Amino acid sequence: MSKNVLVFNCGSSSLKYRIIAMPGEAELAGGEAQRVGPRTTEPSQIIHRSGGETRIHTVVMPDHKTAFVEVMKLLTATHLEPDMIGHRLVHGGEVFPGTVLLDSEMLGKLRSVEHLAPIHNPPAVALVHACAELYPAMPQILVFDTSFHSTIPEYANTYPLPRWLREDMGIRKYGFHGTSHRFVAEEAARFLDIPMNKLNAVSCHLGSGGASLCAIVGGKSVDNTMGYSPLQGLLMSTRSGDLDPAVVMRLLARSGGDASAVEQLLNKKSGVLGLSGSSADIRDILQSGQDDVAGLSRTTKDVYLWRLRKYLGSYLAVVGSTKAIIFTDTIGETVPDVRWAMCADMQSFGVEVDPARNNNEGVYPRDIAADESPVRVLVIQTNEELAIARQSYTVFTERVVSGGIR
């Protein structure tokens, strides 16, 4: 029996939603509430798609709860009432190692993970509370980006810091982008016609903002380049990625101990933007010629690609008998130069990309490896909302339909 899953992907000032009929995976409606929160110069609005039409509704939405109520009005008007709600949460910490069906106990525990992702978690938690209050009988499923990474082994998730820091403060690698890495890994297994638990792969989620690589063994995450927070690892749009701890301490001392100033600096004014001084979008930098006087574009491009290449090598060494390298999200899907820079001259790992296949844009999913390459190189479109719908439907059928709790 088909069930409609309403998927919410909550941003700091936006609310993306979709209704997906499961298990058929047809999208019935979707849209985005924009400029949710305090009034700005532009009006807040909902861009709503359904039945092949897109309409813009201007509505006042001072918080995510109001946005939720307005979205439900639009859905009810088109007779698309959900059977369940699936929420995306960025960080579940150690409290939520897996996907959960919400109950009152879980609802109470949610507050304790809010601070772990101070920009993303609080509005999402507020939304979960609003849904529970307004639709108490509606099953709600919480999908955490961190949960795919709960299988990272201890030797890879442990920072060599004193025990009290690791145990009392929960300082360890959590990893991020898990919903996307899991989704493209499942799609890769389907494409290669092997069971998920036989998939050994390196997944490269290269977004225009954040980016991370994930090492996957037997369908399970065994490492992720992001760490305790989404700051560690690759060079990103405005994030520095890896940095000498002594440099961080030096910046901290220089700011008179103002940690939030350094946090802003490393998260918002570093990475591609900080290095190039001109753009936060690596696509601008890759397209710009060698004409900038200081050579900053050249340096930015080289640093961005070099760090990707090194981490790819690291994870190929971790996975060992790799079946596939997966490229996904905006940069991974649409920029052949990035894939080429990462995979060229990697025959020693069993990787060889076919240049023509690499440049053959617009076909998804596709295999761009040369025929003789033992490792397949796949370009797969990510779909976090569909991933959430799938996980929600699985939990729903296991726990609700089959007579579990309710």
Partner 1 sequence: MNILSLAPAYRSIQFEYLNDTDRSGTTSGKVENFGTHSEALATIAGALSRVPADHDPDRIAIRVAFGGHLFSSVAVVDEDVLSRLHKLIPGAPLHIPALLALLEACGIRYSGVPVVLIFETAFFADLPERESTYGIDSALAESLRLRRSGYHGIFHQAASGIGAPERILSICLEPQPEVAAIMSGRPVMVTGGSTPLEGLPGQSTCGEIDPTIILALAQDLKLGTEQIDLLLTHDSGLRALGDPSATVGEVLKSNDESNRLARDVLRYRMLLAVGAAQAAMGGIDEIVFSGRFADAGTSLMPWIESKLARFPVKSAHRIASRFVTDSLLRIVSDIAGSVQLSQISNAVE
> Mind telling me the catalytic residues?
145
Residue 318 C-beta: closest distance to partner 1, Å: 6
Shortest CA distance to 117 belongs to which of 15, 221, 10, 40? 10
Strands 140-144, 100-101: pairing kind:
antiparallel
Bridge partners (DSSP) of residue 302 are: none
Residue 41 or 260 having the CB closest to partner 1: 260
Whole-angstrom distance, CA of residue 100 vs CA of residue 349: 38
Q: Would you say 315 or 396 has its CB closer to partner 1?
A: 315
Give me the least distance between CB of 228 and partner 1, in Å please.
Answer: 4
CB proximity list for 149: less than 8 A, separation 6 or greater: 157, 173, 174, 175, 176, 178, 214, 221, 224
Distances (CA, A) of 140 to 70, 163, 217, 240, 329: 18, 36, 30, 36, 27
Contact yes or no for 72/29 (Cβ under 8 A) = no
Q: How far is the CB of 355 from partner 1 (least distance, A)?
A: 17
Cβ proximity of 334 and 382 under 8 Å: no
> Measured between alpha carbons, how far is residue 113 from residues 1, 35, 71, 94, 353 in Å?
35, 25, 26, 9, 42
Nearest approach, Cβ of 226 to partner 1 (angstroms)?
Answer: 8
How far apart are CB 85 and partner 1 at their closest, in Å?
31
CA 308 to chain centroid: 17
Helix, strand or coil, per DSSP, at residue 58? strand
Burial 19-57 (b: 16+ CB within 10 A, else e): bbbbeeeebbbbbbbbbbbeeeeeebbbebebeeeeeee
Give strand pairing partners of 194. Answer: none
- Shortest Cβ distance from residue 52 to partner 1 (Å)? 44
Q: Is 213 helix (H, G, I), strand (E, B) or coil?
A: strand
**Rg (Cα) of the chain, in Å, rounded?**
22
The two three-digit tokens of residue 135, written as one number: 């639709």
Q: Name the minimum Å distance from CB 336 to partner 1.
A: 19
Closer residue to partner 1 in complex, CB, 70/145 = 145
